[in-house]
Amino acid sequence: MAGQNCLVTNDWICGEYLRSRSQELTDATVQHIWITAVSVAIGLLVAFPLALLARRSRRIAGPVLGLTTVLYTVPSLAMFSLLLPLFGLSAALVVTGLVLYSLTILVRNILAGLEAVPQEARDAAKGMGYGPGRLLWEVELPLALPAVMAGVRIATVSTVALTTVGSIVGRGGLGNLIEDALPSFFKAQVLTASVLCVLLAVVADLLLLGVQRLLTPWTRIRTTRDAVGAVAKVKAV
């Protein structure tokens, strides 16, 4: 009875809400994860060739970076309204909008990572007979991975938050629960959905950080070497 009273009194923390709406929370969370993952994955596939195009020429870099920046400044409601005639009230509408928003982060980070590759590494690879394609995939991209993964992490966390806006077309994952709860100010639902959204962002960031560490083991070796060198200098003093 005490558990049910928290629903009647509209408490912020309510165990009965979690128990009675567990399936609803699960479905919303799964939808949120799916929309976020698909949006970031497609965004990365689109951003990579755009970054390569921007790197090829400064004349192209300006318009590409400018366009992706302008897209990011478009309000979400306006963005979805512009895309509505093309996709209707579907998940594709939300995913497309989120992909466009992710481009400004992903393109810039991929481009920055590729431009930060030491020229000596490129020259050494070319001296060993590496062609442009092999040079990109086996030398430049691995060395650019820290910057690329940093962009993916930022884009993912941003997309987790922006996915909630999809609730205006019924495809917002946890945002649907928040929007449904606002008219009656259902506190437990608002708080639970908000906390789950934050947890999703934190977990996604930590998972991507783990992937980054696995893909770039040399950065840990370098960090350890730098730390050892610093300790040695202190002892010498």
CA dihedral 133, 42, 104, 110 (to 10 degrees): -30
Q: Average pLDDT in the 4-32 region?
A: 82
Q: What's the mean pLDDT when you consider all of the chain?
A: 83
Q: Confidence band (pLDDT; 50, 70, 90) for 182?
A: confident
Which pLDDT belongs to residue 8?
73
Q: Confidence band (pLDDT; 50, 70, 90) for 165?
A: confident
Q: Confidence band (pLDDT; 50, 70, 90) for 220?
A: low
Show the tokens assigned to 224: 């350890």
Rounded to two decimals, the pTM is 0.83
Note whether 103 and 64 are within 8 A (CB). no
Q: Confidence band (pLDDT; 50, 70, 90) for 105?
A: very high
| HSE-CB for 90 with a 13 A CA cutoff | 9
pLDDT tens per residue, range 52-74 = 888 887 788 888 888 888 888 88
Q: Which amino acid is at 100?
A: L
Q: Average pLDDT in the 126-146 region?
A: 84
